[in-house]
Structure 1
Amino acid sequence: MSNPTVSLGESELSMKKIFILLVIVGAAWEFYSHTGQITLGPGVMVSEVPQQESIDSAASHNMDGYSIAEIAKFSIKAKVLSRKNYYIGREADLSPVDLALGWGKMSDEAVLEKIEISQSGRFYRWRVKSFPIPRREIETHSANMHLIPANNVVKSAFDSVRKGDIIEISGSLVNVVSNTDGWRWNSSQTRNDTGQGACELIWVENINIVTL
């Protein structure tokens, strides 16, 4: 007859090993996604500006207890300046990743190497010792964007995006409201704002890495 105490101990030990393995795998992926970087060299890689079109009859979606209302069609081609994965918080229920994106001179690595870029708390931050381009150009040619995948194919595609990539995104800017308590998360509708509320919240229908 087996000893129940021994069996329980072995089970707990196995679970601890699985947990430790998952932690290691997660940490390895975080390291890869933050340190894996594509280098394309100097020069403007994206000359196009983001495209936004008004919607006459807005579509809406339901996801995990949230109502998602499209407020404008949106597409962008841009360079990934930074990426940040999120796992906790209400926003993470919808958006697992933020991308800081740049276009125009903010897609030029000769400019970007003089700008320190970071992300945390759903914000994108930058610092310079001296301005390689005018401050306002940095502000209006880069943005932090919260990505909501429209389906599992898009969600899986997020995993392939690395800092330095040139990507194309199409979908819609959206506003979100909780069906239970009215909590809201709204998108910016202009590229000219800064600070609180200046991030785009995007319902992503397609995302592609551009091969140059």
Structure 2
Amino acid sequence: MSAARTLLLLGAAALALGFAFDARLPARPLLLPATHADPVQTAAAQPAFATHVGGVDYRIAPAADYDIAGLVVSRHDAEAWWDWIHAASNDHLNVVDLCLIWGANAADGAYEKMSFSSGQFVCYVSSKDASVWRPEYLRSLSNNHLLTDSAAVARRLRGLRVGDQVRLRGQLASYSHDAGFAFTRGTSLTREDTGNGACETLFVRDLEVLRKAPAWPRWLQWLGALLILGGLWRWYAAPHRPR
């Protein structure tokens, strides 16, 4: 087998393994005790305020102070190429959505029997196991619209990955602007709701990564890509051999 073919096969195998294990959720025993707690919500101490991001003036109206620790099970970046709603809404504050599980869902490992994915403003959950649809597990799961006017915080939020265990502090808030049209998005203030309007909209004041997801699947992806590039280079650089 030629060196080029060997590199291409090794690269394809590394790339496939990297993607297969990337975004795999940690098993229940690997979750930190902090993720077993419910979010803490108290009366808002911050009054309404204004901020300016992306050429748009926003008004933020805090409704409650909020402190949540959980496991990232799905995520959506507002800068994804297929996300058109944020651009159409002049929404530069909501940089990332994180779907989190915590509390009973984390402590009992119900999430291990669930599958998660994210759309532009929603977290989708599916499972063939009827036991995971108990109320205590559903209330321990939420999609969180994360707001920030800080470029540094935005970079950190965009750096979070599925499998990370995180703690977020800030204010549940509604926000609005009048940049060409009247835009308003609110927030849920209870963990008991579901469906449209059940997402928490959190203006992030503090972000702590309690435990990062393993990095080796992404390293394997990079290794696979480099091996494939090396194999292609060897293939085209090899002397032409007429048949």
Give the aligned partner of residue 155 of structure 2.
156
Letter in 1 for 2:208: N
Residues 169 and 207 in structure 1, CA contact (< 8 A), matched pair in contact too: yes
Aligned partners of 2:185, 2:152: CA distance in 1, in Å? 24
Matched, 1:82 2:74: yes
Residues 173 and 187 in structure 2, CA contact (< 8 A), matched pair in contact too: yes
Aligned partners of 2:59, 2:144: CA distance in 1, in Å? 19
Give the aligned partner of residue 169 of structure 1.
168
Matched, 1:189 2:181: no
Q: Give, in angstroms, the shift of residue 151 of structure 1.
A: 1.2
Give the aligned partner of residue 73 of structure 1.
65
Q: Which shifted more, 51-60 or 97-106?
A: 51-60
Aligned partners of 1:48, 1:143: CA distance in 2, in Å? 14
Matched, 1:104 2:93: no
Residues 169 and 204 in structure 1, CA contact (< 8 A), matched pair in contact too: yes
Give the aligned partner of residue 14 of structure 1.
none
**What residue ranges of structure 1 are gaps of 5+ in the alignment?**
1-31
Task: Please state which structure has a larger fraction of its residues in helix.
Answer: 2
Aligned residue for 1:154, secondary structure, equals: helix
Q: Give, in angstroms, the shift of residue 138 of structure 1.
A: 2.7
Aligned partners of 2:196, 2:145: CA distance in 1, in Å? 13
CA distance 1:110–1:51, shift in 2 (3 Å): closer
Q: Please list, as runs of the form range in 1=range in 2, the aligned pairs for 1:12-23 lying within 5 A after superposition.
A: none
Q: Please list, as runs of the form range in 1=range in 2, the aligned pairs for 1:16-55 lying within 5 A after superposition.
A: 36-37=22-23, 39-43=25-29, 45=32, 46-55=35-44
Residues 118 and 125 in structure 1, CA contact (< 8 A), matched pair in contact too: yes
Report which structure shows greater RCO (CA 8 Å, sep ≥6). 2
Give the aligned partner of residue 19 of structure 1.
none
Runs of 4+ in 1 over 4 A off after TM superposition: none
Give the aligned partner of residue 17 of structure 1.
none
Q: Which shifted more, 112-121 or 195-204?
A: 112-121
Q: Give, in angstroms, the shift of residue 84 of structure 1.
A: 0.9
Aligned residue for 1:66, secondary structure, equals: strand
Give the aligned partner of residue 60 of structure 1.
49
Aligned partners of 1:141, 1:108: CA distance in 2, in Å? 10
CA distance 1:201–1:171, shift in 2 (3 Å): same
**What residue ranges of structure 2 are gaps of 5+ in the alignment?**
1-17, 213-243
Q: Give, in angstroms, the shift of residue 109 of structure 1.
A: 8.6
Q: Give, in angstroms, the shift of residue 61 of structure 1.
A: 2.6
Deviation string 1:131-154 (CA, Å, 9 cap, x unpaired) is: 243431232000000001241221
Aligned partners of 1:192, 1:147: CA distance in 2, in Å? 20
Aligned residue for 2:132, secondary structure, equals: coil
Over the residues paired in the alignment, what is the CA RMSD in angstroms? Answer: 2.6
CA distance 1:97–1:91, shift in 2 (3 Å): farther
Identity %: 24
Deviation string 1:56-115 (CA, Å, 9 cap, x unpaired) is: 662313232221111111110111111111233227422121000010232259432311
Normalising by the residue count of structure 1, what TM-score does the alignment of the two structures yield?
Answer: 0.75
Deviation string 1:141-182 (CA, Å, 9 cap, x unpaired) is: 000000012412211111321111110000101111213433
Give the aligned partner of residue 29 of structure 1.
none
Aligned residue for 1:172, secondary structure, equals: strand
Residues 55 and 73 in structure 1, CA contact (< 8 A), matched pair in contact too: yes
Q: Give, in angstroms, the shift of residue 125 of structure 1.
A: 1.3
